Amino acid sequence: MFPAPFSIRDKLISPGTVLAPMAGVTDTVFRRMIRSLGGCGLIMTEFTSAECITRNNARTSRYLFFEQDEHPITGQLFGAEPDVMGRAAGMVEQLGFDIVDVNLGCPARKVVKCGGSGLLRDLQGLEKVLRAVRSAVKIPMTIKIRAGWDGNSIVAVEVARLAEQIGVEAIAVHPRTREQGYTGRADWNVIRDVKQAVRMPVIGNGDINSPEDAARMLRETGCDAVMIGRAAPNNPWIFRQIAQFAANGSYDQPTELDRYQLLSSFFRNMVDTEWPDAIGRMKQFACYFTHGVRNGGVLRRDVHHAHTTAEILDRVDAFFAQTVI
Protein backbone atom coordinates (compact mmCIF):
# COMPACT_ATOMS: atom_id res chain seq x y z
CA MET A 1 0.00 0.00 0.00
CA PHE A 2 1.15 3.54 -0.69
CA PRO A 3 1.43 6.03 0.78
CA ALA A 4 1.63 3.99 3.96
CA PRO A 5 0.72 5.56 7.29
CA PHE A 6 3.64 6.96 9.24
CA SER A 7 4.14 8.58 12.62
CA ILE A 8 5.68 11.83 13.76
CA ARG A 9 6.46 10.75 17.30
CA ASP A 10 3.01 9.80 18.67
CA LYS A 11 1.00 11.44 15.89
CA LEU A 12 -0.21 8.89 13.35
CA ILE A 13 -0.50 10.33 9.86
CA SER A 14 -2.74 8.12 7.76
CA PRO A 15 -2.41 7.99 4.84
CA GLY A 16 1.09 9.33 4.26
CA THR A 17 -0.05 12.39 2.36
CA VAL A 18 0.40 15.99 3.46
CA LEU A 19 -1.13 19.26 2.26
CA ALA A 20 1.71 21.73 1.82
CA PRO A 21 1.49 25.14 3.48
CA MET A 22 0.71 27.77 0.83
CA ALA A 23 0.43 31.50 1.43
CA GLY A 24 -2.98 32.81 0.49
CA VAL A 25 -4.35 29.31 -0.03
CA THR A 26 -4.31 26.99 2.98
CA ASP A 27 -6.65 28.87 5.29
CA THR A 28 -9.20 27.02 7.40
CA VAL A 29 -11.89 27.07 4.69
CA PHE A 30 -9.59 25.48 2.12
CA ARG A 31 -8.13 22.99 4.60
CA ARG A 32 -11.58 21.80 5.69
CA MET A 33 -12.58 21.35 2.08
CA ILE A 34 -9.52 19.15 1.50
CA ARG A 35 -10.39 17.18 4.64
CA SER A 36 -13.96 16.67 3.43
CA LEU A 37 -12.81 15.21 0.10
CA GLY A 38 -10.74 12.52 1.88
CA GLY A 39 -7.33 11.01 1.43
CA CYS A 40 -5.19 13.65 3.13
CA GLY A 41 -3.34 12.53 6.24
CA LEU A 42 -1.97 15.86 7.51
CA ILE A 43 -2.83 19.49 6.80
CA MET A 44 -0.77 22.61 7.49
CA THR A 45 -1.51 26.29 7.98
CA GLU A 46 -0.17 29.05 5.80
CA PHE A 47 3.33 29.99 6.91
CA THR A 48 2.94 32.58 9.64
CA SER A 49 5.28 35.30 10.86
CA ALA A 50 6.57 34.61 14.35
CA GLU A 51 7.28 38.31 14.80
CA CYS A 52 3.68 39.26 14.07
CA ILE A 53 2.22 36.52 16.27
CA THR A 54 4.20 37.62 19.29
CA ARG A 55 3.02 41.18 18.71
CA ASN A 56 -0.60 39.94 18.75
CA ASN A 57 -1.23 41.07 15.20
CA ALA A 58 -4.91 40.33 14.60
CA ARG A 59 -4.55 39.55 10.91
CA THR A 60 -1.67 37.16 11.52
CA SER A 61 -3.54 35.43 14.34
CA ARG A 62 -6.27 34.60 11.84
CA TYR A 63 -3.78 32.45 9.94
CA LEU A 64 -3.58 30.17 12.98
CA PHE A 65 -7.33 29.73 13.41
CA PHE A 66 -8.52 26.16 12.92
CA GLU A 67 -11.55 23.99 13.66
CA GLN A 68 -11.45 20.78 15.67
CA ASP A 69 -12.24 18.60 12.66
CA GLU A 70 -8.92 19.66 11.09
CA HIS A 71 -6.77 17.43 13.34
CA PRO A 72 -4.08 16.35 12.83
CA ILE A 73 -2.85 19.81 11.88
CA THR A 74 0.51 21.54 11.83
CA GLY A 75 1.09 25.23 12.55
CA GLN A 76 3.95 26.58 10.45
CA LEU A 77 6.12 29.53 11.48
CA PHE A 78 8.86 31.55 9.87
CA GLY A 79 11.38 33.89 11.42
CA ALA A 80 15.08 34.27 12.16
CA GLU A 81 15.19 35.48 15.78
CA PRO A 82 15.54 32.49 18.14
CA ASP A 83 13.76 34.09 21.11
CA VAL A 84 10.85 35.25 18.97
CA MET A 85 10.55 31.89 17.25
CA GLY A 86 10.55 30.14 20.62
CA ARG A 87 7.77 32.34 21.98
CA ALA A 88 5.71 31.94 18.80
CA ALA A 89 6.13 28.16 18.90
CA GLY A 90 4.86 28.17 22.47
CA MET A 91 1.77 30.05 21.31
CA VAL A 92 1.21 27.47 18.56
CA GLU A 93 1.33 24.74 21.18
CA GLN A 94 -1.09 26.60 23.45
CA LEU A 95 -3.55 26.97 20.57
CA GLY A 96 -3.79 23.17 20.37
CA PHE A 97 -1.87 22.35 17.22
CA ASP A 98 -0.56 18.79 16.97
CA ILE A 99 2.79 19.76 15.45
CA VAL A 100 4.86 22.92 15.00
CA ASP A 101 6.85 23.37 11.78
CA VAL A 102 9.64 25.79 10.89
CA ASN A 103 9.59 27.10 7.33
CA LEU A 104 13.04 26.97 5.74
CA GLY A 105 11.80 26.84 2.18
CA CYS A 106 9.88 29.95 1.20
CA PRO A 107 11.76 31.74 -1.62
CA ALA A 108 9.82 35.03 -1.42
CA ARG A 109 12.12 38.01 -1.06
CA LYS A 110 10.22 39.55 1.86
CA VAL A 111 10.39 36.24 3.75
CA VAL A 112 14.03 35.46 2.94
CA LYS A 113 15.04 38.68 4.71
CA CYS A 114 13.73 37.32 8.00
CA GLY A 115 13.68 33.53 7.69
CA GLY A 116 12.41 31.02 5.16
CA SER A 117 15.06 29.71 2.78
CA GLY A 118 17.31 32.60 3.80
CA LEU A 119 18.36 30.60 6.86
CA LEU A 120 19.92 28.00 4.57
CA ARG A 121 22.78 30.48 4.08
CA ASP A 122 23.43 30.71 7.82
CA LEU A 123 23.54 27.29 9.42
CA GLN A 124 24.82 28.64 12.73
CA GLY A 125 21.87 31.00 12.92
CA LEU A 126 19.58 28.18 11.82
CA GLU A 127 20.84 25.96 14.62
CA LYS A 128 19.99 28.64 17.19
CA VAL A 129 16.48 29.00 15.80
CA LEU A 130 15.84 25.25 15.82
CA ARG A 131 17.15 24.83 19.35
CA ALA A 132 14.99 27.70 20.59
CA VAL A 133 11.85 26.19 19.08
CA ARG A 134 12.70 22.69 20.28
CA SER A 135 13.21 23.84 23.86
CA ALA A 136 10.02 25.91 23.82
CA VAL A 137 7.50 23.16 23.03
CA LYS A 138 6.65 19.62 23.99
CA ILE A 139 4.66 18.81 20.84
CA PRO A 140 6.43 17.26 17.85
CA MET A 141 8.56 19.62 15.77
CA THR A 142 9.21 19.39 12.03
CA ILE A 143 10.87 21.50 9.35
CA LYS A 144 10.30 22.12 5.65
CA ILE A 145 13.38 22.92 3.59
CA ARG A 146 14.64 23.52 0.08
CA ALA A 147 17.69 21.85 -1.39
CA GLY A 148 19.78 24.93 -0.69
CA TRP A 149 20.20 28.57 -1.62
CA ASP A 150 21.55 27.89 -5.11
CA GLY A 151 23.15 25.14 -7.18
CA ASN A 152 26.51 25.73 -5.50
CA SER A 153 25.19 25.31 -1.98
CA ILE A 154 23.07 22.18 -1.73
CA VAL A 155 22.80 21.78 2.04
CA ALA A 156 19.70 19.61 2.47
CA VAL A 157 21.56 16.62 3.91
CA GLU A 158 23.62 18.78 6.24
CA VAL A 159 20.53 20.59 7.49
CA ALA A 160 18.63 17.33 7.95
CA ARG A 161 21.40 15.81 10.07
CA LEU A 162 21.71 18.96 12.15
CA ALA A 163 17.95 19.10 12.69
CA GLU A 164 17.75 15.47 13.73
CA GLN A 165 20.50 15.97 16.32
CA ILE A 166 18.56 18.90 17.79
CA GLY A 167 15.35 16.89 18.09
CA VAL A 168 13.41 17.68 14.95
CA GLU A 169 11.13 14.71 14.30
CA ALA A 170 10.33 14.89 10.57
CA ILE A 171 11.52 16.84 7.56
CA ALA A 172 9.79 17.84 4.33
CA VAL A 173 12.13 18.38 1.39
CA HIS A 174 11.35 20.50 -1.66
CA PRO A 175 14.34 19.72 -3.89
CA ARG A 176 14.58 23.03 -5.71
CA THR A 177 16.95 25.78 -4.62
CA ARG A 178 15.82 29.20 -3.51
CA GLU A 179 17.37 30.57 -6.69
CA GLN A 180 15.12 28.31 -8.79
CA GLY A 181 11.93 29.45 -7.09
CA TYR A 182 9.29 27.27 -8.76
CA THR A 183 11.02 27.02 -12.12
CA GLY A 184 12.85 24.05 -13.62
CA ARG A 185 12.49 20.50 -12.38
CA ALA A 186 12.64 19.33 -8.79
CA ASP A 187 15.68 17.09 -8.26
CA TRP A 188 14.19 14.14 -6.44
CA ASN A 189 17.70 12.76 -5.87
CA VAL A 190 18.01 15.32 -3.07
CA ILE A 191 15.03 13.74 -1.32
CA ARG A 192 16.63 10.30 -1.70
CA ASP A 193 19.91 11.57 -0.25
CA VAL A 194 18.17 13.07 2.77
CA LYS A 195 16.22 9.86 3.35
CA GLN A 196 19.45 7.87 3.36
CA ALA A 197 21.10 10.30 5.77
CA VAL A 198 18.58 10.42 8.64
CA ARG A 199 16.31 8.14 10.64
CA MET A 200 13.38 10.55 11.07
CA PRO A 201 10.51 10.50 8.55
CA VAL A 202 11.21 12.27 5.27
CA ILE A 203 8.36 13.84 3.32
CA GLY A 204 8.94 14.39 -0.39
CA ASN A 205 7.60 17.53 -2.08
CA GLY A 206 7.85 18.95 -5.58
CA ASP A 207 6.41 18.16 -9.03
CA ILE A 208 3.67 15.81 -7.82
CA ASN A 209 0.77 16.49 -10.15
CA SER A 210 -0.91 13.09 -10.25
CA PRO A 211 -1.19 9.84 -8.30
CA GLU A 212 1.34 8.33 -10.69
CA ASP A 213 3.83 11.04 -9.71
CA ALA A 214 3.28 10.29 -6.02
CA ALA A 215 3.91 6.59 -6.57
CA ARG A 216 7.04 7.31 -8.56
CA MET A 217 8.45 9.65 -5.93
CA LEU A 218 7.96 7.06 -3.20
CA ARG A 219 9.55 4.41 -5.39
CA GLU A 220 12.54 6.48 -6.52
CA THR A 221 13.39 8.24 -3.25
CA GLY A 222 12.22 5.87 -0.51
CA CYS A 223 10.57 8.81 1.28
CA ASP A 224 7.98 8.11 3.96
CA ALA A 225 5.23 10.38 2.66
CA VAL A 226 4.41 12.85 -0.09
CA MET A 227 3.46 16.50 0.22
CA ILE A 228 1.19 18.13 -2.35
CA GLY A 229 1.39 21.87 -2.93
CA ARG A 230 0.42 23.73 -6.10
CA ALA A 231 -1.50 20.78 -7.57
CA ALA A 232 -4.03 20.84 -4.72
CA PRO A 233 -5.77 24.17 -5.51
CA ASN A 234 -6.11 23.17 -9.16
CA ASN A 235 -7.23 19.63 -8.30
CA PRO A 236 -8.51 19.39 -4.71
CA TRP A 237 -9.44 15.75 -5.40
CA ILE A 238 -5.79 14.71 -5.80
CA PHE A 239 -5.50 13.25 -2.29
CA ARG A 240 -8.58 11.10 -2.82
CA GLN A 241 -7.25 10.09 -6.22
CA ILE A 242 -3.96 8.97 -4.67
CA ALA A 243 -5.89 6.81 -2.20
CA GLN A 244 -7.94 5.29 -5.04
CA PHE A 245 -4.82 4.65 -7.10
CA ALA A 246 -3.17 2.97 -4.13
CA ALA A 247 -6.19 0.72 -3.63
CA ASN A 248 -6.96 -0.40 -7.17
CA GLY A 249 -4.55 1.18 -9.65
CA SER A 250 -7.05 3.66 -11.06
CA TYR A 251 -8.87 6.76 -9.91
CA ASP A 252 -11.94 8.86 -10.67
CA GLN A 253 -11.89 12.20 -12.45
CA PRO A 254 -14.22 14.89 -11.07
CA THR A 255 -17.36 15.46 -13.10
CA GLU A 256 -18.81 18.84 -14.00
CA LEU A 257 -21.32 18.31 -11.18
CA ASP A 258 -18.47 17.59 -8.75
CA ARG A 259 -16.77 20.81 -9.78
CA TYR A 260 -19.94 22.85 -9.46
CA GLN A 261 -20.78 21.47 -6.03
CA LEU A 262 -17.24 22.04 -4.77
CA LEU A 263 -16.98 25.59 -6.07
CA SER A 264 -20.46 26.54 -4.89
CA SER A 265 -20.08 25.09 -1.40
CA PHE A 266 -16.59 26.56 -1.01
CA PHE A 267 -17.79 30.02 -1.93
CA ARG A 268 -20.85 29.77 0.31
CA ASN A 269 -18.65 28.74 3.22
CA MET A 270 -16.60 31.88 2.68
CA VAL A 271 -19.75 34.00 2.73
CA ASP A 272 -21.21 32.22 5.78
CA THR A 273 -17.99 32.64 7.77
CA GLU A 274 -17.74 36.32 6.72
CA TRP A 275 -14.22 35.65 5.52
CA PRO A 276 -12.17 38.83 5.11
CA ASP A 277 -11.78 39.85 1.47
CA ALA A 278 -14.21 37.12 0.45
CA ILE A 279 -14.69 38.65 -3.00
CA GLY A 280 -10.98 38.61 -3.78
CA ARG A 281 -10.60 35.09 -2.46
CA MET A 282 -13.56 33.87 -4.50
CA LYS A 283 -12.04 35.33 -7.66
CA GLN A 284 -8.69 33.72 -6.82
CA PHE A 285 -10.17 30.28 -6.25
CA ALA A 286 -12.40 30.52 -9.32
CA CYS A 287 -9.16 30.51 -11.31
CA TYR A 288 -7.90 27.44 -9.44
CA PHE A 289 -11.05 25.33 -9.39
CA THR A 290 -12.09 25.84 -12.99
CA HIS A 291 -9.07 24.11 -14.50
CA GLY A 292 -10.54 21.31 -16.59
CA VAL A 293 -14.01 22.86 -16.75
CA ARG A 294 -15.43 23.18 -20.25
CA ASN A 295 -15.44 26.85 -21.24
CA GLY A 296 -13.93 27.62 -17.86
CA GLY A 297 -12.48 30.83 -19.22
CA VAL A 298 -16.01 32.22 -19.55
CA LEU A 299 -16.72 31.51 -15.88
CA ARG A 300 -13.41 33.00 -14.78
CA ARG A 301 -14.18 36.16 -16.75
CA ASP A 302 -17.70 36.42 -15.33
CA VAL A 303 -16.50 35.95 -11.76
CA HIS A 304 -13.63 38.40 -12.24
CA HIS A 305 -16.04 41.16 -13.30
CA ALA A 306 -18.49 40.59 -10.43
CA HIS A 307 -18.69 43.16 -7.64
CA THR A 308 -20.41 41.34 -4.77
CA THR A 309 -20.36 37.86 -3.29
CA ALA A 310 -24.02 37.37 -4.24
CA GLU A 311 -23.21 38.28 -7.83
CA ILE A 312 -20.36 35.76 -7.90
CA LEU A 313 -22.60 32.99 -6.55
CA ASP A 314 -25.28 33.83 -9.12
CA ARG A 315 -22.77 33.68 -11.95
CA VAL A 316 -21.41 30.32 -10.80
CA ASP A 317 -24.96 28.93 -10.62
CA ALA A 318 -25.85 30.34 -14.02
CA PHE A 319 -22.71 28.97 -15.69
CA PHE A 320 -23.16 25.42 -14.45
CA ALA A 321 -26.93 25.49 -15.02
CA GLN A 322 -26.20 25.08 -18.70
CA THR A 323 -24.65 21.64 -18.20
CA VAL A 324 -25.28 20.07 -14.79
CA ILE A 325 -28.28 21.57 -13.02
Alpha helices in 40-199 (DSSP H): 50-54, 58-63, 82-94, 109-112, 123-136, 156-166, 188-197
In angstroms, the CA 68 to CA 107 distance is 31
DSSP state of 293: -
Task: Give yes or no for a contact between 170 and 201, defined as CB atoms under 8 angstroms apart.
Answer: yes
Contact 104, 120 (CB under 8 A): yes
Q: Please report, to the nearest 10 degrees, the dihedral formed by the alpha carbons of residues 54, 118, 227, 158 taken in order.
A: -120
The verdict on whether omega for the bond into residue 72 sits within 30 degrees of 0, i.e. cis, is: yes
Helix (H, G, I), strand (E, B) or coil at 115: coil
Is the separation of the CB atoms in 37 and 13 below 8 Å?
A: no
| Residue 130 and residue 95 in contact, taking contact as beta carbons nearer than 8 Å | no
Residue 96 one-letter amino acid: G
Q: Which residues contact 67 (CB under 8 A, 6 or more apart)?
A: 28, 32
Residue type present at position 142? T
| Annotation says 106 is catalytic | yes
The single residue of 40, 52, 106, 114 carrying the catalytic annotation is 106
**DSSP string over 164-182:** HHHT--EEEEEEEETTTTT
Residue numbers annotated as active site: 106
